[in-house]
Structure 1
Amino acid sequence: MMNDMERLHNLKYFALDMDGTIYLGQKLLPGALDFLQYLKDSGRKHLFLTNNSSKHKHSYVEKLQKLGINATDKEVMTSGEATALYLQAHNMKQVYLLGTPDLEDEFRQHGLTLTCDKPACVVLGFDQTLTYAKLTEACHLLREGVPFIATHPDI
């Protein structure tokens, strides 16, 4: 039976939350760079994750780079991108989206069409641009039975 250190040593891929794990606000957390260097030196891969869907993945790549982490687009995934990939996989290409312009761009880049005319689902992301009109339309669609998907359940 393996102990915890042996299990950790055998891991080849790490999913790393960013905010509060790698950085806090605009400050890199102590040990983060050392840990990332250890992963690189030991041939392990990692993926940076965030449940914040308000920004495009490129924003997170830029932030990580400004903090001294040489991150690429392939190493970052947002909950918005994960939702877009889910919608693609389930052939839900027509979407009514409550989200920021960055999230709208993320969805379009994944081939999704943003519409209020017969969408396959209503998607709720973190939305700093939420208006009464957007909320009213979403409620109308939901009452008609259109499926509801949230990019993350942030209670």
Structure 2
Amino acid sequence: MGNEKRLLRVHVYIYEALLSDAYREEMESVWEGQPKNDNGKNLGGKEGLRGFVERWHKASAPNVTLCTDPVEWLETPQRSDAASCGVLVVAQVHNYLTGNDDRQTNNISYNDVKVMQLRMLWVILHYSNQIPIPDSDEATSRETLKKLQKELK
């Protein structure tokens, strides 16, 4: 029983909210990274999230085999309310970062998700710094708004 080889499987799902194929290649390169040149030097190459996950796994659980499945594209939101997924992902990341990864199973109500969404919004607003935009950008923004309003009438 003690000689069993442990396996950690990583399922990669990518959902592009605008439902456009235009970003697929770019989003996959964020996961896979950009390759190095033939000599192994990193000339313009960039480690993707996959490389980070592999390094993190090797440092934190070297005796567990990491198996990464191919990227799977999701065409629609998978949560019935189409809004809570991001909250639940942030909650899971928080658990990992704080060491609370004992695999508990809990039921989370829709009201719990609404409270978590409000809390996340509060944190973002509370800790964000407002930086004024340059006058030229402000003028351009005003002109763009006028054009949009004219088109939408």
**What TM-score does the superposition give when structure 1 sets the normalisation length?**
0.22
By relative contact order (CA 8 Å, sep 6+), the higher-ranking structure is 2
Higher helix share: 2
Looking at CA atoms only, which structure, 1 or 2, has the larger radius of gyration? 2
